[in-house]
Structure 1
Amino acid sequence: MHKLTSAELPAALAQVPHWRYQDERGGLIARQFVFHDFVQAMGFMTQVALVAERSNHHPEWFNVYNRVEVVLTTHDVQGLSQRDIDLAQAMERIAAAWPPQEPA
C-alpha cells in the first residue's frame, strides 16, 4: 500500500466523482450522504461497517439524523491510498442499493 502520487490522483479520483478531494492531512476524500431518514442512514452505516472491518480500513464519519458525513484517508501512508478509493466505491454501491423508505 502506498500514498497515491500526484500522477495517480486524477485516475483514482475519477473513480469516485461524488467525492471531493482535499490536500489536508496529506490528502483525503470527503462526501456527505443523505438518506430518507435515520433508519436508512444507520442501515447504510451498518453495512459499510461490515465492509470496512473486513478490509481493516475504517472511515471517519459523523451522523445526524438522515445525514452521514464521511472522510477517508489512510493514516499508515499519511494521505490518500487505493484503499480509500476502494472503500468509497463500496459506499457508493451500498448507498445506491438502499431502497427508498416512506417516512415513519
Structure 2
Amino acid sequence: MILSETEVREKLSTLPDWITRDGTINVTYKFKDFIQAIEFVNRLVVPSEKSGHHPDIFISYNKVTINLTSHDEGGITQKDFDLAHEIVDIVNSLMIK
C-alpha cells in the first residue's frame, strides 16, 4: 500500500539524512574512499535479497546514493522504510557518519 505524503514525512523523521524526492526516499553517504563505498554496497546484498526489495544504487568514487521506492506498488511503501532502517544499521555498524 502506498503511503500518504504525511505518512512519508512522519517516517522520514526517524531516518537521519534521508529525504524524499521524485517518488523515492533517498540518501547519499560519503565514505573514506572507493573501497569503503563498495564494502558498504556489498553489505546491502543480503538484506535486499532477504526482503525481496532492491534499492537503486549510484556510486561515484566515495559517494553512494540510495533511492528506494516500491516499483510494483507505484510509490513509497512500508517496505522502503523497513529496508532504509536496515541500511542505517549497516552504516552505523561501519561507523560512518
Structure 2 residue 52 is the aligned partner of structure 1 residue 56: yes
> Could you tell me which amino acid in structure 2 is paired with residue 92 of structure 1?
V
Aligned length: 96
**Could you say what the CA RMSD is over the residues aligned between the two structures, in angstroms?**
1.5
For the pair 1:3 / 2:29, whether they are aligned, the reply is no
* Equivalent position SS for 1:53: helix
Identity of aligned residues (%): 34
Gaps of 5+ in 1: none
| Paired position in structure 2 for 1:68 | 64
Query: Residue type matched to 1:41 in 2?
Result: A
TM-score, structure 1 as length reference: 0.83
Of residues 41, 44, 57 in structure 1, which corresponds to 2:40? 44
TM-score w.r.t. length of structure 2: 0.89
Q: Which consecutive unaligned segments of at least 5 residues does structure 2 have?
A: none
What whole-Å deviation, never above 9, does each CA across 1:53-98 have from its counterpart, x for those lacking one?
A: 1100000011122110111100111110111111111111111111
Whichever of the two has the greater Rg, that structure is 1
